[in-house]
Structure 1
Amino acid sequence: MIELKTVLTRHVPVRYFEGGLGPDLVFLHGAGGLTAEDPFLNALAAKHHVYAPLIPGYGDSEEAPEIRDMLDFTLHTWDVIEALGCKDPILVGHSMGGMIAAEMAAIAPNDLTRLALIAPAGLWDDDHPVVDMFSTLPFEMPQLLFHDAAAGAAILTAGRNVEDPAFLQAYLVTNARQLGMAGRILFPIPERGLHQRLYRIKAKTVIVWGDNDRMIAPTYAHAFKKGIAGSQLVSIPEAGHMVIVEKTAAVVQAIGGLD
Structure 2
Amino acid sequence: MDLKTVSTHHVAVRYLEGGSGPPLVFLHGAGGVTADDPLLAELAKTHHVYAPLIPGYGDSAECPEIRDMLDFTLHTWDVVAALGLKDPVLVGHSMGGMIAAEMAAVAPNDVSRLALICPAGLWDDEHPIADLFATMPYEMPALLFHDAAAGAAMLTAGRNVTDPNFLQTYLVTNARQLGMAGRLLFPIPERGLQPRMYRITAKTVVIWGDSDRLIPPVYAHGFKKGITGSELVSIPEAGHMVTLERPALVADAIRRLG
Q: TM-score, normalised by structure 1?
A: 0.99
The letter for the 2-side match of 1:162 is V
Task: Report the counterpart of residue 223 of structure 2 in structure 1.
Answer: 224
Corresponding position of 1:208: 207
- Give the match for residue 153 of structure 1: 152
Aligned to 2:4: 5
Q: CA deviation at 1:42?
A: 1.1
Q: Secondary structure at the residue paired with 2:90? A: strand
Structure-to-structure mapping, 1:101-116, within 5 angstroms: 101-116=100-115
| Structure 2 CA distance for aligned equivalents of residues 163 and 244 of structure 1 | 26
Gaps of 5+ in 1: none
SS where residue 205 of structure 1 aligns? Answer: strand
Superposition map of 1:106-145 within 5 A: 106-145=105-144
Tell me the distance in 2 between the aligned counterparts of 1:4 and 1:144: 29
Which aligned pairs between 1:178-217 and structure 2 lie closer than 5 A? 178-217=177-216
Q: TM-score under structure 2 normalisation?
A: 0.99
- Which residue matches 2:35? 36
User: Which residue pairs with 2:170 in the alignment?
Assistant: 171
Matches of 2:79 and 2:4 in 1, distance apart?
Answer: 13
Shift of 1:43: 1.0
How far, CA to CA, are the matches of 1:229 and 1:40 in structure 2? 26
Residue in 2 that maps onto 1:75: 74
Instruction: Report runs of 4+ in structure 1 exceeding 4 Å deviation.
Output: none
Identity of aligned residues (%): 76
How far residue 129 of structure 1 moved from its aligned partner, in angstroms, is 0.5
Distance, in Å, in 2 between the alignment partners of 1:158 and 1:19 is 24
1:63 deviates by 0.3
Give the match for residue 235 of structure 2: 236
Q: What number of residue pairs does the alignment pair up?
A: 258
Q: How many Å apart are 1:133 and its aligned residue? A: 0.2
Q: CA deviation at 1:122?
A: 0.4
CA distance in structure 2 between the aligned counterparts of 1:36 and 1:176, rounded to whole angstroms? 21
Unpaired runs of 5+ in structure 2? none
Once residues 37 and 131 of structure 1 are traced to their aligned partners in structure 2, the CA distance between those partners, rounded to angstroms, is: 27
The aligned counterpart of 1:47 is 46
Cα offsets for 1:195-247 (capped at 9, x unmatched): 01011000000000001100000000000000000000000111100011111
- Aligned to 2:233, the other structure's residue is in SS state strand
